[in-house]
Structure formats: structure tokens, C-alpha cells
Amino acid sequence: MRRKTGKGTGGTAAPDGLAADVATFLASLKARKFSPATVRTRRTALLRLQQFMAAHGTARVQDVTVEVLGAFRRELEGNGFTPNSVEVYLSGVRQFFNCLETAGRLFVNPAREIPIRLAPPPLPRVVALADIRRLLAAPDLSTPIGQRDRAILEMLYATGMRRAECVRLSVFDLDLDAQTVRVLGKGRKERVLPLGKHAAAWLQRYVREVRPKLLDPGQSPTDALWLNRCHQPYSGEMVNFTVRKYARQAGITAPVNPHTLRRSCATHMLANGAHPLMVAKMLGHADLESLTHYLRVTIRELRQTHAASKPGE
């Protein structure tokens, strides 16, 4: 959320009491397991608000009015912030004032009168099911590395897990009899994901036949699930490389990465009738808001199918 150009804001001290309110608000975000990136964005927005208030003689948070916030918006716009960055900053400011209102620190919440005009994000890229099949079939199964890579691709698509969750897996996180895998997600929240018979079969083959060949006989054994040719645990960049490599081999021209497979998993599940609550739980989302993009893709495809089938004609 960096501005394109702009003037410095200087080092003017924040009004008394506001810094403490901001610190309390940011601590509450951390306690509620907001992502570090979100907390940083909120901190930056509120720092600029503190500096704006100090520079314009607004001494207390209770003295902030709709007009003050309107002037703050205009200053951001005048300093070269992109329209979307302005709205993200104001969204953080409104969240801050809502928390102050809930805590009884405000009688009137001026941020309620500030409209947030975020542009809808672009539709996420999703890999078509036919392309997914070609992607999964791309590794050379005559080699141990190809068998390992097939297992990685099958697991990423079947579970929709994040790249970081994939590289953190240990052999003890698998329950191949139950066809499940345990992952540690954001905020160190643990969840158990179904693998499905295809991913479970490839994982079983990898664990029994391939992974022992990738262990270094001269070192203490590691419990990391995914190992490379050098007997080291897989990194996130290695997972990225693996997905991109086989996407190219499968003839998929659009960029594909592990998150693309995550989105594709969610979208295909929703399109096939999965309940949004179940999909959100599987992906590790706290609520349904994060599924909005996937649902938009599904509705777009539904409209295309509806138009093509010409119902009623």
C-alpha cells in the first residue's frame, strides 16, 4: 500500500492519549489473529492519522469529526496515494474508531459517515479441471523425483492447503489409513484435511518407496515430509518451482503457483455443490468473507452456462 509519490509527514508527536489508543487497538488485532501484514497496514494508516491530527491541532480522538476525516482523505489523495490505498487506509481508520466506540471511548463515531469505496478485486485465476488433469499427469513417473512431484501436486490440489502449510508437514502429520493430513495454519491454528483416495494413494507410494531414497544415510533422519535431491527439506520456493515447471509441461499458458491450486480446489468444490462453510473450514478461513472471490468465479461460470444452455427457449 505504498504511495506513488508524496511529501514526508515529518516527525510531529501524536496527540496525548491517541498513541495509547492505537497501541491498544493494534494489540487487539494481534490477539484476534489478524495477519502481520494487516496489522502493519493498520499501524501505518493510524500513524499518518496521528501526524495529521497533530499538524492540524486536533488534540483528542474525541475531537475528530466527519470533516476532519474528510480532510485526511484529501491529504492522502493530494500526497499521491492510489485510490485503492486511500480506501484501505480509511478502512483501517474506521475499524479503529469502531473499536473505540465499542469500548465506550466515543459518544459519536465520525467514521460511520465516511464511505469506503474499494474497487472490487479482480477475479482470481482458476485452473480449469481439464488443465488440472494435465498438470497432475505431467511428472515423469519412471523416476523417484517424478513420483514425489506427483504426490505434491495431488496433495496441494486435493486439500487446498497453503504453500507454507505444505513445507511444514512432517511424516507424522499423515494418517494414510484415514486418508487425512494435519496442517498448522495461520495463527498456529491446527486443522485436519481429507486427502481423498487419489492423493492418499500417491502419498503412500511416496512415503514407502521414494522418501527413503531421499534420506541422507550419513545424517540423523529428519521427519520432514518433503525432501529434495540433496536430502534437505523442501522450501516454499521449491514448491513454487515444482508447480510452475509442470504447469509449463502441461501446456498451461497462464501463470500457475500453489495458491492458484488452492483457489482452484475451492472453486471446483463450490461448483460441485460443496457447502461454503465446509470449504471455508477446509481452507482455514475464520469466516465466509474470504470465500467471496471464489463464489464470484462460480457465479460467473454459472451465468455463462445459463446463457449457453438458453433455458426456456
What's the CA gap between 13 and 25, in Å, rounded? 19
What is the pLDDT, as a whole number, of residue 274? 79
Residue 128 CA from chain centroid, whole number: 21
Q: What is the pLDDT of residue 9?
A: 42
Strand partners for 224:
170
pLDDT at 287 (0 to 100): 60
> Going by DSSP bridges, is the β-strand pair 190-194/174-175 parallel, antiparallel, or unpaired?
unpaired
Residue whose C-alpha cell is 499518518: 48
pLDDT by 10-residue block (mean), the chain, 313 residues? 41 58 90 88 92 88 89 90 88 91 87 72 74 95 96 95 94 94 84 91 96 89 92 93 96 91 87 80 70 58 48 43
Radius of gyration (C-alpha) of the chain in whole angstroms: 25
Handedness of CA 211, 217, 218, 223 (dihedral sign): positive
Give the model's pLDDT for residue 33: 83
Structure-block grid coordinates of residue 116: 469506503
Residues designated as active site: 162, 186, 259, 262, 285, 294
Q: What does the domain layout of the chain look like in residue ranges? A: 18-113, 129-309
- pTM of this prediction? 0.59
Considering the domain 18-113, what is its CATH architecture? Orthogonal Bundle (1.10)
- Residue given cell 460467473 in the structure block: 300
Q: Dump the DSSP string for 158-190.
A: HH---HHHHHT-BGGGEETTTTEEEEE-GGG-E
**What pLDDT, on the 0 to 100 scale, is given for residue 286?**
63
Given this model, what pLDDT does residue 2 score?
Answer: 40
Residues 6+ apart with CB under 8 A from 47: 22
Domain 129-309, second-level architecture: Orthogonal Bundle (1.10)
Whether the domain at 18-113 and the domain at 129-309 fall into the same CATH topology: no
DSSP labels, 180-216: EEEEE-GGG-EEEEE-HHHHHHHHHHIIIIIHHHHS-
